[in-house]
Chains A and B, each alone.
Chain A
Amino acid sequence: MSIVRPIDFIVTHNLELRPAGLDPRDFSLLVAGFPNTRVLLLDPALPADQQEARLKAFLHEKARSPVVLAAMDPQTRGAVTLKLLLEKFQLNPELLTVVDLQAALENPDPKTRTLKALDLVRLAAVRVSRAVPLGSQEVPVSRRVLVWGDSYPALKAAGDLADLGYPVILATPHAPLSPLTPSAPQPQSPPEPLAALLQHIQDHPLLRPVTAAALLGFEGVTGNFTIRLCTPVGPLKEQVGAVILAPELEIAEAPERYGLPLHPRILSQTRLEQVLASPKEAAAMLDPQTEQVVVALMVGLAGASYPPALRRALSAASRLLNRSNCQVYLLVGDAKVAEPGLEKFLRQNQDAGLVLCKLSQLPEVTLKEDRPHLTFFDPVMRESLELAADLVVYEEAYRAASGNAELARLLRLQPAPLGFLQGDNVHNLPVATCRRGIYVVGPARAVMDLEEGLAEADAAVLAVQSLLGPGVASAPLGRAQVDRGRCVLCLTCYRLCPHGAIVYDSRADIKELACQGCGVCASECPNDAIQIRNCTDDQIRAHIRTLNPQLAPRLVAFMCRNSAWEAYQAALKLKHAALPLGFTAIKMPCAGKIDMDYLIRAFTHGIAGVLVLTCHPDNCKSHKANDHARWRVAQAQALLAEAGIDPQRLLYKSLAANTPQDLLDAVAQLRAYL
């Protein structure tokens, strides 16, 4: 028994406990037998005021000791009690632990249920008796914001932030500002709402546009980044609290994607739009005197294609169809119609005479008598067609800004597909990145319609406001601590921190505004210099040490709280989950905190089998912390094999929060092996 300080136990007498062989009164008496403890037996169905009166008699004005709440389904059925404890009795959340007694009722044998329930509350008490309350601190932050890029979402974010009183640096490599409308021809002067965005940023006192800029340096952490910009008027060094990235897409002609020869009658989409905008050129290219002019538009036949490209092709098609002598073919691979109104637009064009041919491969282009000829297999007519076209128009390539790779390197962002800036992880959606305080909107994260990008600008502005507020941000105090006596400045933590939260002076220094408490640094530190508050090595070792050897088979599962722990909670609510009597779940803040030491130590304490359960690859909130756990398991297995212990007694599995069955399968798999 290693409960190292007084604990207040609250046991709720839920109706189903007594029929299940776990009499709450007897159980409370047994709990009261632990050293250093007091016990309150509480009816969770009581109204809040009566519960408060009982809790007041037990805890007086304020909770002083850590509290263990043992109940059936405490998060929902004990919600009233939990709320009272945290709000009325000001219990620090770190000093409260809940035990779901359902885990004890899992056993088919009623006699062992009390034993199991006692073990559950004891383990909870062991861990929480070593807990330290987590404080909070006010961190001064810079209110200045860097908005990088000149897309309309960037302009909107910059303008809105400046309106809200945040000084903004709007920096872009382009000069002058050249925002694009991805799904429409680039106009000479933008239409009204967009022109207003451009106008708004020109003469705002808090907004400083910097064109032809290059980002040379980026240091520091959330709330206090230091940026170094190279501008035409000289270098600029500034502190910024947050960054919004929205560099404009690049729309490239890229005729090579379609393998097209150079020819005056083979045009890019932009070129066609220019032709259509100028009556003189249009008359030259699309002779109104001839009987028929054939135009072939090609979309979605080579490489990535997006709805904006189709919309532009359709806009051009409808203008062409308005000319009496135009016959327009749309040769399309996948027709990307997944934007509002696009399917309808396509149908309208078809009704107006557009010939739609869905092809499975690129048409062959040959030049005969000054006209491009297209040869392709028409799947509807089931024959090869040869089309003598007066104009062949190909869609353009939509690409992420070419400077993104360098930007990602400087800002230490996780790599993303196709040169975009948001790591491919759903937890970042919609606008977050792996680093707090750096947001990506619109063209920085995908090819999208202007409207979606502008909505994301709103979301990013909201995020910046809640982060920087009036210039002080609140952060937890003492979540991750560096023992400066042990740190040897090897920079392992600095390199591995998925959130970019670590800086260094003479020792590593963890900035709590950016830290998410995942614990990768603590587990990887070769000198054990970092501890995560309330998931310290001391706590986990005590937990493993006090596992009851009477409960067999002895299985321990280390669970990431984001996925496996939730799946475990859900599994307890399934009927017939039937977890083995000796199964113990240990909640970890993230798979990144599952130390090698814990895995080996479990075996030295006689545990029969150990499970490491993490989020699925690419779904970890801390980038690759789940991979770190997997690598550690592999290492530990090698060590176990060397020591003559069957390495398959240690099992790694990834699962999702809403797949409790996967958890049960993993337990069953290990159990079957043993």
Chain B
Amino acid sequence: MAFFNEKPVVVLGGGIAGITAALELAHLGLPVALVEKSPFFGGRAAHFACKATDTCQKCGACLVEQRLRDLIQESGVTLYPHTELIQAQRPDGLFHLTFRRQPQRIDPHRCINCGICYDECPAISQQAILTGSSPAQHPRYAINPAGCLYFRDGSCRICQELCFPKAIDLDRPETTFTLEAPALVLATGYQPADPRSRPHYGYGFLPRVITGWELEQRLRDGAALEIPGNGRPARSIAFIQCVGSRDQDHPYCSRVCCAYGLRLARLIRHRLPECRLATFYMDLQNIGLDAQRFQEEALAEVKLIRVLPGDVATAADGTIKLRYLDEVSGQALSTAFDLVVLAVGIAPGPENPRLAELLHLDLTPEGFIRSHDDLHRTATGQPGLFLAGTVEGPRSIAECIAQATAAVQQVRNYLEAAS
């Protein structure tokens, strides 16, 4: 492998699958370049909350945290945050990948994570400054040119002026560079399904309807479960499953929402014993190794209603009324809740079509990257290019880890055969 050893294997995507692949490759002694589009590593899964009640619920969120810490201490992996693939060619067996890298506008050596830039930014509602989710990330703030007023019209430099360690320089130029890689692992992940695909749930204009993803972040920040708008703790919460899964636009099961939805419900039951909880669902999927036991335990804490509500309306007191057909009596019932949580599914990453075109890959009808065949979901039609994680289809954290490890084994086999 002498020839290949000098050039890094490129892992595209710094979420749980990409991090796992990068760490495993580094353990094999191979040089690795880990490229992440956003300013922070960890991906979506790094935003998930630990769902332990008085015992571990096996959600796997801690595995992400652990690997993120390992990544920062692993010297065999070169990190490229805030970097995007713009061009790919393969003239001679090597991937010639051209990237555009956003500069570190906040100097990590100077930044003290005081957060003044974030607190004082006038364009924070447009996400001009992004924050990381894990304390392992430094700096925990990053300037987002897409939302920043300075990059729109040059009108604002408040953060740079206020930053007392003088860490911010908005004028640092972005750079482009090319990596030559003997192998490429594609692990660019997914995006949460858009809850507006089911418009009758009123997401976006009813403040009391939030997504599971938003609830995770609130719980993670340790925030109390307040009713948006009036600040009182929620006394009743409804979970609606299969939002962005198993419908016309998403003809597949996202495989994780039942697990996380029920675990979130049980976590809330643990924190707020008085809170009334209901989960509206179609079929329960993948809820644990011993699914029956889990379901029985959940049933004691959460009312499980096997129907999706047909109608959502706001009552006079501001609560959300859900109307649904009762399975037993056949009557249309209406129940009011303080908060409605939509368990959004896994939708294909927004960049998938662009990446597929750049790398000459196929998309599935749903929009995920198509794998070689049903028995090799890490393999693509192209030798040396492998898939890991949710870029290929919905997967849990544990499944992403397994698949990323398998992809590394495939990379290794490929490199050995090639040398």
In the complex, A606 has a CB within 8 A of chain B: no
Report yes or no: B402 in contact with A426, Cβ–Cβ below 8 A: no
Closest residue of B by beta carbon distance from A303: B292
Minimal beta-carbon separation of B116 from chain A (angstroms): 11
Report yes or no: B62 in contact with A658, Cβ–Cβ below 8 A: yes
Chain A residues in 8 Å Cβ range of B49: 658-659
Give the size range of A's interface with the partner. Answer: 35 or more
Report yes or no: B375 in contact with A454, Cβ–Cβ below 8 A: yes
In the complex, B61 has a CB within 8 A of chain A: yes
Report yes or no: A458 in contact with B409, Cβ–Cβ below 8 A: yes
* B107-121 interface code vs A (CB 8 A; 1 in, 0 out): 111101111000000
Asked if A343 meets B374 with Cβ closer than 8 Å, knowing A573-B135, A619-B62, A656-B52, the reply is no
In the complex, A488 has a CB within 8 A of chain B: no
Chain A residues in 8 Å Cβ range of B373: 193
Chain A residues in 8 Å Cβ range of B306: 358, 360
B-contacting residues, A630-645, CB 8 Å = none
Closest residue of B by beta carbon distance from A336: B285
A416, A427, A430, A462: the one within 8 Å of B289 (CB)? A416
Report yes or no: A337 in contact with B50, Cβ–Cβ below 8 A: no
Docked Cα-Cα span, A339 to B332, in Å, equals 33
Report yes or no: A573 in contact with B113, Cβ–Cβ below 8 A: yes
* A417-430 interface code vs B (CB 8 A; 1 in, 0 out): 11010001111011
Report yes or no: B401 in contact with A462, Cβ–Cβ below 8 A: no
* A108-122 interface code vs B (CB 8 A; 1 in, 0 out): 000000000000000
Report yes or no: B410 in contact with A458, Cβ–Cβ below 8 A: yes
Q: Which of A71-79, A225-233, A589-597 contacts B (4 or more CB under 8 A)?
A: A71-79
A382, A425, A573, A654: the one within 8 Å of B330 (CB)? A382
Chain B residues in 8 Å Cβ range of A15: 110, 112, 164-165
In the complex, A363 has a CB within 8 A of chain B: no
Closest residue of A by beta carbon distance from B388: A455
Chain A residues in 8 Å Cβ range of B289: 416-418, 420, 424, 446
* A336-375 interface code vs B (CB 8 A; 1 in, 0 out): 1111111110010000000000101000000000000000
A-contacting residues, B271-308, CB 8 Å = 282-286, 289-293, 306
Asked if A617 meets B55 with Cβ closer than 8 Å, knowing A76-B72, A573-B135, the reply is yes
Asked if A570 meets B135 with Cβ closer than 8 Å, knowing A455-B403, A617-B54, the reply is yes
Docked Cα-Cα span, A15 to B291, in Å, equals 53
Q: Number of A-B pairs whose CB atoms are under 8 Å?
A: 195
Q: Which of B91-99, B245-253, B353-361 contacts A (4 or more CB under 8 A)?
A: B245-253
Docked Cα-Cα span, A418 to B136, in Å, equals 37
Chain A residues in 8 Å Cβ range of B403: 455
In the complex, B37 has a CB within 8 A of chain A: no
Closest residue of A by beta carbon distance from B24: A462
Minimal beta-carbon separation of B76 from chain A (angstroms): 12
Docked Cα-Cα span, A462 to B414, in Å, equals 14
In the complex, A52 has a CB within 8 A of chain B: no
Report yes or no: B55 in contact with A616, Cβ–Cβ below 8 A: yes
Report yes or no: A617 in contact with B56, Cβ–Cβ below 8 A: yes
B58, B286, B402, B412: the one within 8 Å of A430 (CB)? B402
In the complex, B199 has a CB within 8 A of chain A: no
B-contacting residues, A468-521, CB 8 Å = none
Report yes or no: B402 in contact with A455, Cβ–Cβ below 8 A: yes
A-contacting residues, B209-251, CB 8 Å = 220, 222, 246, 251
A-contacting residues, B70-97, CB 8 Å = 72, 75
Asked if A338 meets B286 with Cβ closer than 8 Å, knowing A450-B375, A451-B374, the reply is yes
Minimal beta-carbon separation of A269 from chain B (angstroms): 19
Closest residue of B by beta carbon distance from A87: B75
- Number of B interface residues at 8 Å Cβ cutoff, please give it: 75
Minimal beta-carbon separation of A307 from chain B (angstroms): 8
Chain B residues in 8 Å Cβ range of A427: 63
A14, A425, A459, A660: the one within 8 Å of B405 (CB)? A459
Asked if A656 meets B50 with Cβ closer than 8 Å, knowing A73-B113, A340-B252, A347-B251, the reply is yes
Report yes or no: B327 in contact with A379, Cβ–Cβ below 8 A: yes
Report yes or no: B253 in contact with A343, Cβ–Cβ below 8 A: yes
In the complex, A250 has a CB within 8 A of chain B: no
Chain A residues in 8 Å Cβ range of B62: 426, 563, 619, 656-658
In the complex, A219 has a CB within 8 A of chain B: no
* A430-458 interface code vs B (CB 8 A; 1 in, 0 out): 11000000000000001000111011101
In the complex, A45 has a CB within 8 A of chain B: yes
B24, B61, B282, B375: the one within 8 Å of A451 (CB)? B375
In the complex, B338 has a CB within 8 A of chain A: no
Docked Cα-Cα span, A616 to B263, in Å, equals 15
Minimal beta-carbon separation of A201 from chain B (angstroms): 17
Report yes or no: A430 in contact with B401, Cβ–Cβ below 8 A: yes
Minimal beta-carbon separation of B57 from chain A (angstroms): 9
Closest residue of B by beta carbon distance from A82: B73
Chain A residues in 8 Å Cβ range of B66: 562, 657
In the complex, A94 has a CB within 8 A of chain B: no
6 shortest A-B CB distances, which residue pairs? Answer: A661-B222, A76-B138, A430-B402, A619-B56, A458-B406, A656-B50
Question: With A15-B165, A16-B165, A45-B110 given, can you name 12 additional A-B contacts, CB distance below 8 Å?
Answer: A45-B107, A334-B283, A337-B246, A338-B255, A417-B290, A427-B63, A454-B376, A456-B402, A466-B27, A618-B58, A657-B65, A658-B50
Residues of chain A whose beta carbon lies under 8 Å from any beta carbon of chain B: 14-16, 44-46, 72-73, 75-77, 79-80, 83, 87, 160, 193-194, 300, 303-304, 334-344, 347, 358, 360, 379, 382, 416-418, 420, 424-427, 429-431, 446, 450-452, 454-456, 458-459, 461-463, 466, 562-563, 566, 569-570, 573, 575, 615-619, 654, 656-662
List 30 A-B residue pairs with CB atoms under 8 Å apart, sorted by A's residue number. Answer: A16-B112, A16-B114, A77-B108, A77-B109, A80-B109, A83-B75, A160-B409, A338-B253, A340-B377, A342-B253, A343-B252, A358-B283, A417-B289, A417-B290, A424-B58, A426-B398, A430-B402, A452-B402, A454-B406, A455-B378, A455-B405, A570-B135, A573-B113, A619-B62, A657-B66, A658-B49, A658-B50, A658-B65, A658-B220, A659-B50
